[in-house]
Amino acid sequence: MGLTFFITGTDTGVGKTVVTAGLAAAAFEAGNSVCVYKPIQTGVLEDEAGDCETVRFLTGLPIETVCSYRFDPPATPWVADSHDEISVDLLKATLNALQKQYDVVLVEGAGGVRVPVTATVEMIDLIWLFDAPALVVTRPDLGTINHTLLTVEALMHRKINILGVVVSGFPLANKEVAVETLPRVLEQYLPVPVLRWLPSTKLTQSGLNVALFQELWSALVNQP
């Protein structure tokens, strides 16, 4: 069985999909067969591009993408799943099958770690069930320190292996005081490493810098 990483975030819209795409491209360029698994997608109409389509667009590579459940409403999976379709057993079985088929499986979560998946299961429970180390993606906004520390604390409480934190979309200029001081404060308080401060100019559809993500990929696979 190959490598499996779970890309989660402090919230929705923090850049998980772009980070997932960058890591998928880096893993593929390193000679691996790669699959991106999105267990649950919400907030995307049938004729709209979801996260799997975005990954394929950003990479431009023959990377397999799989999504088990897709719902239209822009809400938590539990709310969006109005007919109680989600089966955690199916999600686990799907991941097990993908792990046997690919060298690398990158799992992208939906929203943050406390997002309800069903009436009794949260995203953090899914990470634990998948038994995959977690990479936390956050964004450099006011409130990031609180959101990131609470996310990491929740994962540690469940004894989930945390690879580290990636700050996505860090501005190169015109930083407000909360963002300007973020590296010093966040790295002081976090019990896990900040693996990369990814600049915002590298995280657009026209500027996916695979070389930058190759450094991040190397940091993940070479962790002790």
Which amino acid is residue 200, in one-letter code? Answer: S
From start to end of the chain, where are the E strands?
3-9, 34-42, 64-71, 104-112, 134-138, 162-170, 194-199
Length of the chain: 224
Which are the contacts of 86, defined by CB distance < 8 A and separation ≥ 6? Answer: 40, 69, 77, 78, 117, 118
Question: Of 182, 161, 179, 198, nearest to 16 (Cα)?
Answer: 198
Question: Of 141, 118, 143, 117, nearest to 8 (Cα)?
Answer: 117
CA–CA dist 166, 182 (Å, integer): 13
Q: Which of 16, 38, 159, 175 is catalytic?
A: 38
Q: Is 100 a catalytic residue?
A: no
Active site residues: 38
